[in-house]
């Protein structure tokens, strides 16, 4: 046992049945394939605490790739596109952003710098949304109003009965770069 009273991974793994070891190995392999930095820890938590860790990881990992880091990929393309759209329709949705991007680029702000700001705003927005999901209710609403919960489904889209919570706790640590949002 470690100083905290939590057995080592090896000691924990030794307590599993043969079938459980096979399941744990498969889960660890899935985490590893997805690029998880601590596949054994996430798998152990799923087994020991019955937390939908693979589902949490998949959800948060996708947020990073599609909704945060996407702003840093080819920023000149989306910046140019937003500027062109604002020029085409200066009263369109968020045209003010396209016009602001034009002013920024005209003043020499690089696409890379703009992308860094966009990526940070995307992270802050994603964090606020997953925190809102984790909160499960509107704290300003009157008593008796409904709340919400994110639930796990199996591969056949049947409910497993496990909620997917605590997302805000791991969002930053799942930055695929390993830098937790820090600059290179």
Cα 143 to chain centroid, rounded: 31
Quick one: pLDDT at residue 184? Answer: 79
* Contact status, residue 164 vs residue 151, Cβ threshold 8 Å: yes
Residue in this structure with the two tokens 């602001």, named with its chain if needed: 100
Average of per-residue pLDDT across 49-62:
95
- pTM comes to 0.88
Q: Which residues contact 28 (CB under 8 A, 6 or more apart)?
A: 39, 40, 43
Candidate ranges 12-16, 107-111, 177-181; pick with highest mean pLDDT: 107-111
Q: What are phi and psi of 152, to 5 degrees?
A: -80, 145
Res. 5 pLDDT band, cuts 50 70 90? low
Locate 21 and state its tokens. 């070891």
Number of Cβ within 10 Å of residue 8's Cβ equals 10
């Amino acid at each position: 046992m470690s100083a905290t009273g939590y057995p080592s991974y090896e000691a924990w793994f030794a307590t599993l049945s043969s079938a459980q070891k096979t399941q744990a190995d498969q889960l660890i392999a899935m985490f590893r394939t997805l690029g998880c930095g601590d596949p054994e820890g996430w798998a152990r938590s799923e087994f020991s605490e019955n937390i939908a860790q693979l589902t949490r990881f998949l959800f948060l990992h996708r947020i990073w790739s599609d909704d945060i880091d996407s702003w840093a990929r080819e920023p000149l393309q989306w910046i140019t596109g937003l500027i062109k759209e604002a020029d085409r329709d200066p009263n369109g949705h968020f045209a003010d952003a396209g016009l602001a991007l034009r002013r920024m680029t005209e003043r020499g702000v690089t696409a890379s710098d703009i992308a860094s700001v966009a990526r940070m705003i995307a992270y802050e927005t994603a964090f606020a949304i997953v925190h809102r999901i984790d909160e499960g209710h509107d704290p300003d609403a009157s008593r008796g109003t409904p709340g919400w919960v994110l639930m796990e489904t199996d591969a056949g889209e049947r409910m497993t009965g496990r909620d997917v919570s605590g997302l805000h706790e791991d969002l930053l640590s799942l930055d695929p770069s390993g830098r937790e949002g820090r600059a290179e």
